[in-house]
Amino acid sequence: MLQSSWNRCWRGMGARGDGLDLMQKLLSAYEEPQRKYHTTQHLSECLGLLAQHLDLAVEPAEVEIALWFHDAIYDVKANDNEVKSAAWAESELLRASVDPVRIERVKDHILATRHSAQPQGKDQQLLVDVDLSILGAPIPRFEEYEAQVRAEYEWVPEVIFRSKRKDILAEFLARRPIFNTAKLHEALEERARANLARSIGNLGQPK
C-alpha cells in the first residue's frame, strides 16, 4: 500500500525520477526511536483512509504527498516540526523539478496539520480530517493511541501531562465540527466526540 501510494502521488506531482530513495528516507524517519504514535502505523492509517477518499480532493497528489511529509520531522520537545517538515518537502520537490506553485500548496497543507487554525479549502480540510481520523477510531485503537502519545511524552511528569493533554483534547472537542469533509464527518464525528469526552474524563481522575 505504501509503495503504490508513493508511486501515485510522485507521478501525480510530475516529479522527476521515481523518488524511491526519498520514500525510504521518509519511512526511516517515521521509525525513529522517539516516536510511539507518529510512526509508520500512523502514516499507513492516514494513507489508507485517504486512498478511500481521493476522489474528494481537488489536487489528490498534493494532498497525498503532504501526508507523506506531514510528520517527517518529529522532535517531541520541539514546536516547529511541521515547519521543518514543510521545508524538507519543499527542498525535495524543488530538486525533483515540481512546479513551485504546487510546492507552495503542499507546504501550506503540511502547516495546516499544526491544527492551530481551521483548514482552508477542500484539500486542506480532507488532509486535516484524515490526520485527525484517529480521534474517531474504535475504542481499542483510540486507547492505544492515547497510550502511544503518553509514551512519546514519557519525560513529562504525570500531573503536568494529564493537565496539558486534557486541555488539548478539550480544544478538539470544542470544535464545531471536528471533521469538515462531509463523508468523514458522517463516519467519525460522533465516535470522536465520545472518545474525547471519555478520555477527558479519565484524565480528570486521580491516578
| Segment 170-189, tens digit of pLDDT | 999 999 999 999 999 999 99
Residue type, 202: N
Q: Which pTM was predicted? A: 0.96
Asked if residue 82 lies in contact with residue 114, where contact means CB atoms within 8 angstroms, the answer is: yes
Confidence at 29, pLDDT banded by 50, 70, 90: very high
- Label residue 1 by pLDDT band (50, 70, 90): confident
Segment 33-41 mean pLDDT: 97
Residue 56: its pLDDT value, please? Answer: 97
Does 104 score more than 70 pLDDT? yes
Asked whether residue 205 carries a pLDDT value surpassing 80, the answer given is no
* Mean pLDDT score, 88-100: 98
What's the pLDDT at 207? Answer: 58
The residue ranges of every structural domain in the chain are 1-116, 132-207
What is the enclosing helix (H) or strand (E) of 44? helix 40-53
Instruction: State residue 162's pLDDT score.
Output: 95
Residue 116: predicted pLDDT: 83
Q: 94: which residues sit within 8 A by CB, 6+ positions away?
A: 100, 103
DSSP secondary structure letter of residue 54: G
Q: Spell out the residues 6+ positions from residue 168 whose beta carbon is closer than 8 angstroms to its own.
A: none
Q: What is the mean pLDDT of the chain?
A: 96
pLDDT score recorded for residue 206: 60
